[in-house]
Amino acid sequence: EVQLVESGGGLVQPGGSLRLSCAASGFTFSSYAMHWVRQAPGKGLEYVSAISSNGGSTYYANSVKGRFTISRDNSKNTLYLQMGSLRAEDMAVYYCARVERYSYGFGFRSDYWGQGTLVTVSS
């Protein structure tokens, strides 16, 4: 059974840092790209960051570029999101999601999601 379990969320002051983790099981982690998606309270889904299966390519939304770093440890089946210079607008539930390629070209889908971890930014 595929499982993604996020951890590391919590209360942090503006300007602070936090590292989120996503532990994967039930599939060959090193074969899949992974994404972080967030959802502010009462708001919609926002793409945050993506990483290729071997970690060699990373991508960021403009809203977090230069402040967040995505990484992965395929030996530990774990995805990370290092968040720095946190702002009030970064407060959200953060989800990790597995990305499956279903067709050549642009055929991607997020078929499994974790339960999310809440990041609260407040003084």
Partner 1 sequence: DIQMTQSPSSLSASVGDRVTITCRASQSISSYLNWYQQKPGKAPKLLIYAASSLQSGVPSRFSGSGSGTDFTLTISSLQPEDFATYYCQQSYSTSPIFTFGPGTKVDIK
Q: Quick one: which of 15, 17, 14, 35 has its CA closest to 80?
A: 35
Q: How far is the CB of 119 from partner 1 (least distance, A)?
A: 16
Nearest residue to 19 (alpha-carbon basis) of 115, 90, 88, 83: 83
Site for partner 1 in 103-122 (CB under 8 A): 103, 105-111, 113-116
If you count them, how many residues does the chain have? 123
Per DSSP, 29 falls in state G
Interface characters, 59-98, with partner 1 (x: CB under 8 A): xxx---------------------------------x---
Out of 22, 29, 32, 35, the only residue in the binding site for partner 1 (CB under 8 A) is 35
Give me the amino acid identity at 7.
S
Token pair for 69: 């770093």
Instruction: Tell me how far, at minimum, the Cβ of 1 lies from partner 1, in Å.
Output: 13
The nearest distance, CB 77 to partner 1, in angstroms, is 19
Complex with partner 1: residue 86 or 96, whichever CB lies closer: 96
Question: What is the C-alpha to C-alpha distance for residues 80 and 48, in angstroms, rounded to an integer?
Answer: 12
